[in-house]
A and B are shown apart, each in its own frame.
Chain A
Amino acid sequence: MLCDICKQNVATVHLTQMVEGKTKKVDLCETCSKDKGIDDPTGFSLADLLLGLGAAQEMAQASSGSELKCPSCGFTQADFKKSGRLGCADCYTTFAEGLEGLLKSMHKGTKHAGKVPRVLQQNKSVTEKLNGLQKRLEKAIAEEDFEQAATLRDEIKQVREKLDSLTTG
């Protein structure tokens, strides 16, 4: 049996773990298992490793041969296959296609549902308010309620200014 990573040496390290109720297996040679830090059990999860391998394959498929490279940091999918880590925040945009399936399989969802930095939070709520006003304005114009439309237009102008000051500040 050959190692799942280098596909050259004979696999001597065999790992099994339950991931989402399914039994996953990985067979590695001694060199690759050391590279992956498997001799250091506290820092190691088979899930990370498996998902890393799967993702690299998906990324290879998504880019169909032509090697994708992050424009910000120069990171490639081959680098991801080696380390299971990305190069910079922009890699998430560069490799978005290949990562999508991976994120779906490893997480509860693919949309962030937790904490948002305060600056962006304000930004977000103002944007939402603006969208609401815009809709009411369209409705007022459609109903030919021009007095209401004028009030809404002034309000939108104010909110826009606030949003500008938030994003530039």
Chain B
Amino acid sequence: MNIHEFLIPPDQSCKRAGPHDRIVMSSRVRLARNVKGMSFPGWAKKADRLRALEAIRPAVEALGQLAGGFSESMDNFSTLDKQILVERHLISREHAAKGVGSGLVVNREETLCVMINEEDHLRMQALRPGLQLRSAWLAIDQIDTALEGKLEYAFSNELGYLTACPTNLGTGIRVSAMLHLPALVLAEQINQIIQAVNKLGLAVRGLYGEGTEALGNVFQVSNQMTLGEAETDILERLNKVLLQLIEHEENARSTLLEKKPKMIFNHIGRAYGILANAHSISSKETMNLLSLMRLGIDLAMFPGIERWLVDELFILTQPAHLQKQFSDKLSAEERDLLRADMLRERLRHVSRPVAKLPPPQGNKPDKPASSS
């Protein structure tokens, strides 16, 4: 079976629901581990990496949690396959650059994913829709405990699990959530929020882009520190911050609707107009406009349309997924045309957004959005 037959089609995977999934798109807990007595993958010679892969891969495959899963070494994937795995968030970009001597094991549900010989010998992650950090941690903790009986980890009582990069030392844990924060961006509060979150020792990254205005208004929030604190404490701290971010985003949505409804309706209406009618559109513009449509769905402006439609298009319109549907190698311009065709087709039955103004409070018209 190849990876494309294995992967769950996006129209199914996007229908998975989880707590707070209006704002939290997914939760992830990742552990970094290394095997004692072997150089880290980035420094090891090819023969040593192969030896490590041969030792680790069978141990991972034999885990009950990964039964019926998919296992392959990275040199057996084409560049396009790897890019698709990145767009699905199953592997890191760093892992996509690997070939001989690295491997990947994914479970049937695509909720557990083990990268072998990425930056560390083992990078294992559990994924969940919505805000479910605890459940993700329990799942990956279980895998880790099962593996430690088969592989001897590089561990020191003082420094904990030893990792290639000192930033992962100790617990080797990275707890993260992907957040959709369009209202905080529209209200121009996002920079403030990011700075406040950074001050708490947490990292905020864009999903597909560096900088504060992340593409598609999607932000990834994760812990930065891994040493000197227990896993569950790290997790609880992040969880608290995430709950606050959810509240801030919800507040920003209500405030904007109340104070600047025309500005919101304008953005969402234009987004719909372009997505449903364009004949050429870039991946970046698509993501930013789909984000606004997702907000419109949350605000009940597209009755009968569910969020998964947008989430699915979010994946399908990305370059590798688009390329996969066509046998010929496409140029960026050709992709833009085909992307627009797909969007027009998929949005054919989606009616124009319904903009219901809140009951008038006095007769002051909504001020047009300032351009600052």
Which residues of A come within 8 Å of B, CB atoms? Answer: 17-21, 37-38, 40-45, 47-48, 51, 55, 72-73, 75, 79, 83-89, 92, 99, 102-103, 106-120, 124
A114 to B158, CA, bound (A): 11
Please indicate which of the listed interface residues B145, B153, B227 has the most CB atoms of chain A within 10 Å of its own CB: B227
* CB closest residue in chain B, given A47: B224
Q: Does B5 contact A (CB under 8 A)?
A: no
Contacting pair A20 B171 (CB below 8 A) = no
Number of interface residues of B (CB under 8 A): 56
Closest to A21 in B: B199
Known A-B contacts A41-B206, A89-B34, A109-B227; the reply to A79 vs B43 at CB < 8 A is yes
Q: Given the known inter-chain contacts A109-B229, A111-B228, A124-B157, please indicate yes or no for A45 contacting B170, CB distance below 8 A.
A: no
Interface residues in chain B, defined as those with a beta carbon under 8 Å from any beta carbon in chain A: 34, 36-40, 42-43, 92-94, 119, 141, 144-145, 148-149, 153-162, 164-167, 169-171, 173, 195, 198-199, 201, 203, 205-211, 224-231, 233
**Secondary structure type dominating chain B contacts:** loop
- What are 28 sample pairs from A and B whose C-beta atoms fall under 8 A apart? A21-B198, A21-B199, A37-B94, A41-B205, A42-B208, A45-B167, A45-B203, A87-B39, A88-B43, A89-B162, A103-B169, A107-B170, A107-B228, A108-B229, A109-B229, A110-B159, A112-B156, A112-B170, A112-B171, A113-B228, A113-B230, A113-B233, A114-B171, A114-B231, A115-B141, A115-B144, A115-B231, A117-B155
How many residue pairs bridge A and B at CB < 8 Å?
Answer: 151
CA distance in complex: A38, B93 (Å) = 12
Contacts of A88 in B (CB 8 A): 38-40, 43, 154
Of the candidates B34, B94, B199, the one whose C-beta lies within 8 Å of that of A43 is B94
The residue on A at minimum CB distance from B155 is: A117
Q: Measured between C-beta atoms, what is the minimum distance from A117 to chain B in Å?
A: 5
CA distance A140 to B207 in the complex (A): 64
Pair A120/B170 contact, Cβ less than 8 Å: no
Known contacts A108-B201, A110-B159, A117-B153; 18 further A-B pairs (Cβ under 8 A): A20-B199, A38-B210, A40-B93, A43-B93, A43-B94, A55-B166, A84-B165, A87-B40, A88-B38, A89-B156, A99-B166, A103-B159, A107-B228, A111-B158, A112-B171, A112-B228, A114-B171, A117-B155
